Amino acid sequence: MELQQLRYFLAVASEKNITRAAEHLRLSQPALSRQIHQLEDSLGGPLFERSQGGVTLTERGYYLAEHAKEMVRLADKISANLNTATPVSGELYIGGGETETLTSVVKTFRQMKQRHPDVKLRLYSGNGDDVIDKLDRGILDFGVVIEPVNLAAYASRELPHVDRWGILTRRDSPVGQKLAIETEDLLDLPLILSEQSLVDRHLSARLGVDLSEADVVATYNLLYNASLLVREGIGHALCLDGIINTYGTELVFVPLHPPLTSSVHLIWKNGSRLSNVASTFLELFDERETAT
């Protein structure tokens, strides 16, 4: 199994048609077909089901596609960071959950870009579980994660601001008229909760409210989609402040009372050798935080 074969395979999987994939890759159709057959032979079974209308992935093909994307992405990352014409250039891979605190990371990259114009940022958005998974597999250089998270396996920096918990709700709802919502009142509301593992247990422990007893009408992993549910009056989203811009909209953020906040951490694999571009970013981050 060769890296170039994986690129060909992913092109066919994306186009769902060998002829279109060959045109995209600027290969002849017979040459591309041979490469796909060789890959199938090396892996011991068909990756596609062929028909007159095109091709579809087999179960084996779906499995390979999921992992091939990450293998190709990791190879591209390594290549970009080693084949550089200047001392500090290449690509920086950062993944983060939804938090306004990510601004400090973005400002550091802006400073880095000013000093080293050849660097590029690859920013991945996902919940904490997704970010840590990609960090562990070497896809990301850094992750930005929100409490709760087990930091034992990671080097980290705590970001300078904390996130405030509350609910995103309609401005014209009874809850939307309040300055704050009492934690015990959460159990009386139709709630939209994050699916991220540990979050519900974490909040339950800190709030003294068992969220497993709440009326959970929907779950989410990124808040924008949850905000659409809130806008339609389906429920109230338990979330962090500052992620959805509510100014001039029918939505409003109502903080919890007593206040509940979470710290945010920039993390990377403990003991891992950072690329030149990642090391430079970390130096600039520390430099900025020391100065502020």
91-123 confidence digits (pLDDT tens) = 899 999 888 888 889 999 999 999 999 899 999
Would the pLDDT of 43 be above 80? yes
pLDDT, residue 260, reads: 92
Rounded mean pLDDT of 191-203?
74
Query: What pLDDT band is residue 27 in, cutting at 50, 70 and 90?
Result: confident
Q: Which two tokens stand for residue 273?
A: 């050798």
Contact assessment for residue 255 and residue 241, using Cβ atoms and an 8 Å cutoff: yes
Nearest to 280 by CA among 126, 119, 124: 119
Would the pLDDT of 200 be above 90? no
- Model confidence pTM above 0.75: no
Q: Which two tokens stand for residue 76?
A: 């591209």
Contact assessment for residue 146 and residue 128, using Cβ atoms and an 8 Å cutoff: yes
Task: Tell the burial category of 24 from Cβ atoms under 10 Å away from its Cβ (0-12, 13-18, 19+).
Answer: middle
Query: What pLDDT band is residue 204 in, cutting at 50, 70 and 90?
Result: confident
Contact assessment for residue 234 and residue 216, using Cβ atoms and an 8 Å cutoff: no
| Residues 144-173: tens digit of each pLDDT | 998 877 888 899 999 988 899 999 999 999
pLDDT, residue 288, reads: 83
pLDDT, residue 125, reads: 86
Q: Which two tokens stand for residue 47?
A: 């990756």
pLDDT, residue 81, reads: 63
| Residues 212-241: tens digit of each pLDDT | 888 999 999 889 999 999 999 999 999 999
pLDDT, residue 270, reads: 85
pLDDT, residue 85, reads: 56
pLDDT, residue 150, reads: 80
* Average predicted confidence (pLDDT) for the chain: 87
pLDDT, residue 127, reads: 79
DSSP secondary structure string, the chain?
--HHHHHHHHHHHHHT-HHHHHHHHT--HHHHHHHHHHHHHHHTS-SEEEETTEEEE-HHHHHHHHHHHHHHHHHHHHHHHHS-SSSS-EEEEEEE-S-GGGHHHHHHHHHHHHH-TTEEEEEEE--HHHHHHHHHTTS-SEEEEESS---TTEEEEEEEEEEEEEEEEETTSTGGG-S-EEGGGGGGSEEEEE--TTHHHHHHHHHT--GGGSEEEEEESSHHHHHHHHHTTS-EEEEETTSS--TTSSEEEEEEES--EEEEEEEEETT----HHHHHHHHHHHHHHHH-
